[in-house]
A and B are shown apart, each in its own frame.
Chain A
């Protein structure tokens, strides 16, 4: 394998690209919150779903838990990267342990100040 003459220069550039991609994957720009009012998704599980089922699904889809809604048998996760969110929600919806998965929609007050 021939080593390019500018290889030493490419190493930091390559490293920077890796770091940037990694940062984006772990902290997508549309998922800035830590459980407050940032973007998120809701996944409702079936009554029959076990904690192991849920853990498997969370691992399979890389879901990062923000909070559990116990009464709703649902969990709120950090939003998925927008480019894959729609297809991921559909895939989640077809899982046996999942009743439905949806975007955690934003609402606002209804006054005219």
Chain B
């Protein structure tokens, strides 16, 4: 056993790369299994364990010690290297040996030698040279320092986990790409390339996901868009590939439904959603949109909410207000949806980005975004779009879920939306007024809003005949006997080719009918309402509510798609 002094001992310990060090977990923190930090109870205490003691108990302890390194400038303090003991549970063995030393009476204290690492920053070239401004913005290329997803400080807490599955509903994922291959989801129930549907889920050899267009188990990307999104979410870190994602460790599932031309059908998106539900996905990234209201897509996203999946959606790229003109799927009023606007490197809203004070939740980097593509296993490119913003949010969601795996989807969404980095350009243009922040979402627990009770009308949709009337009823029960009507939120979706023909009223179980629409909008299409009822009256709301839609002019027809009433949660 040797005893010597090392003034620079702390520095020696800190410069060891964490990955190269043998560690055990003590109280959730990594510690060296064979060293402890001590302070001797008295001056010269170290001599007692140099084999000079005749006390058999101390001699027994001394036999387990390899050497003692005294700190030159810290009196009586030392690092004790223990002889290696690999028997049994090593964390338990370390605890026992600490207890033995404490009970020897030789020490004032004995504690684990916790592993300290420098801030986690990846070595990947696109990160270190500043191309990935969305992850770390130091003002490069005229950017604004700090206008990023605050990932660097977040990575000190977590770099993600392969236990978290993020599905990318898109054009597929080039799963052989050098920066994606290591983080691709692996279907545990499927044997690769044996031509069988081993897990009996309807797809043969679905190792990394599916292709809903062909019905095959290979989500290989033939466009590049999906691979780009995948790279932003979770390109592998500290490797030969130049890219790194928001989450260094994650399981990326490819769900292909967009063609090489970048277009696809709702039915194939629905197939992808249902596959993701079956295979236990945590987060779904959706950098696509278009079309009008679809009950089938609405129902599928609702199923994903019931399965506890966060549904991250691009807000769309028309540069318009989604509050005024609803975009789908971002505009569906379903609680697990996060709609994402795009920011540039100066924290300005991208010129193409849609926004919405009541319909778009937050912003994220979406201009000049560098990521993986599908041309080859080493191809990369720079894209713009809310398509590129959404994956930053999905990546942050994966980090948060990795640190707090038991979060519900409501809690996960609340952490992301309620802990944004304030951005002036998003104030009044998004629900949160800020940009997604990995650091803040990890640091701050947030109580999700208590959801009210939603009653949804059944037996819909119903056709609205020309110059005809359609009614729909909804039964409310279990509510307080006195409710202010203006605390009730109505959601209504009517498709029509000339809304100026329509008169829409809502008759509560008691009191007067409420006018919702009275031949407004002239030749516009569709009536979509998401608003509180305007009456200040209080009524007993329990009973049958009746919605009536009248078409009062010739030529045009429509469909009553859906309507619901949300009552506030009890205080």
Which A residues lie at the B interface, using CB under 8 A? 35-37, 40, 42, 44, 66-67, 69-72, 74, 76, 90, 93-94, 99-100, 102, 104-113
| In the complex, B383 has a CB within 8 A of chain A | yes
A74 to B21 Cα, complex, angstroms: 54
Given that A36-B213, A110-B314 are contacting pairs, would A104 and B267 also be in contact in the complex, using a CB cutoff of 8 Å?
yes
B268 — which chain A residues lie within 8 A by C-beta? 37
User: Which 5 interchain pairs have the tightest Cβ spacing?
Assistant: A105-B291, A111-B385, A111-B387, A71-B274, A107-B290
| In the complex, B151 has a CB within 8 A of chain A | no
- Flag if A44 contacts B225 (CB, 8 Å): no
Nearest CB of chain A from residue B470's CB, rounded to whole Å: 12
B385 — which chain A residues lie within 8 A by C-beta? 109-112
A108 — which chain B residues lie within 8 A by C-beta? 258, 262-264, 288-290
Which B residues lie at the A interface, using CB under 8 A? 170-171, 213-215, 223, 225, 228, 258-259, 262-271, 274, 277-278, 287-292, 294-296, 299-300, 303, 314, 316-317, 352, 383-388, 390, 460-463, 559
B288 — which chain A residues lie within 8 A by C-beta? 107-110
User: Which of A35, A66, A71, A112 has the largest number of chain B CB atoms within 10 A?
Assistant: A112
A105 to B287 Cα, complex, angstroms: 16
User: Which of A71, A106, A108 has the largest number of chain B CB atoms within 10 A?
Assistant: A108
> In the complex, which of the residues A42, A74, A112 contacts B383, with contact meaning CB atoms closer than 8 Å?
A112
A109 to B171 Cα, complex, angstroms: 9
Given contacts A109-B387, A111-B385, 19 further A-B contacts (CB under 8 A): A44-B295, A67-B267, A69-B274, A74-B270, A93-B559, A99-B295, A100-B296, A104-B266, A104-B267, A105-B291, A106-B263, A106-B265, A106-B291, A107-B258, A108-B289, A109-B262, A110-B317, A110-B390, A111-B225
Given that A109-B387, A110-B387 are contacting pairs, would A36 and B214 also be in contact in the complex, using a CB cutoff of 8 Å?
yes
A37 — which chain B residues lie within 8 A by C-beta? 213, 259, 263-265, 268
B386 — which chain A residues lie within 8 A by C-beta? 110-111
A105 to B384 Cα, complex, angstroms: 25
Given that A42-B266, A104-B267 are contacting pairs, would A110 and B287 also be in contact in the complex, using a CB cutoff of 8 Å?
yes
Nearest CB of chain A from residue B224's CB, rounded to whole Å: 9
Count: A-B pairs, CB below 8 Å: 128
Given that A110-B317, A111-B317, A112-B352 are contacting pairs, would A76 and B289 also be in contact in the complex, using a CB cutoff of 8 Å?
no
A107 — which chain B residues lie within 8 A by C-beta? 258, 263-266, 269, 288-291
- Flag if B291 contacts A100 (CB, 8 Å): no
A110 to B266 Cα, complex, angstroms: 15
A44 — which chain B residues lie within 8 A by C-beta? 295-296, 299
A42 — which chain B residues lie within 8 A by C-beta? 266-267, 270, 294, 296
Interface of B is mostly: mixed
- Flag if A40 contacts B463 (CB, 8 Å): no
Nearest CB of chain A from residue B311's CB, rounded to whole Å: 14
B291 — which chain A residues lie within 8 A by C-beta? 105-107
User: Which of B170, B223, B263, B299 has the largest number of chain A CB atoms within 10 A?
Assistant: B299
B265 — which chain A residues lie within 8 A by C-beta? 37, 40, 104-107
- Flag if A111 contacts B287 (CB, 8 Å): yes
**B381, closest chain A residue (CB):** A113
A40 to B388 Cα, complex, angstroms: 29
A99 to B299 Cα, complex, angstroms: 12
A36 — which chain B residues lie within 8 A by C-beta? 213-214, 259
Nearest CB of chain B from residue A54's CB, rounded to whole Å: 16
A71 — which chain B residues lie within 8 A by C-beta? 274, 277-278, 303
A100 to B458 Cα, complex, angstroms: 11
A94 — which chain B residues lie within 8 A by C-beta? 463
A90 — which chain B residues lie within 8 A by C-beta? 463
B171 — which chain A residues lie within 8 A by C-beta? 109
Nearest CB of chain B from residue A64's CB, rounded to whole Å: 14
B270 — which chain A residues lie within 8 A by C-beta? 42, 69, 72, 74
B214 — which chain A residues lie within 8 A by C-beta? 36
Given that A37-B264, A71-B277 are contacting pairs, would A110 and B289 also be in contact in the complex, using a CB cutoff of 8 Å?
yes
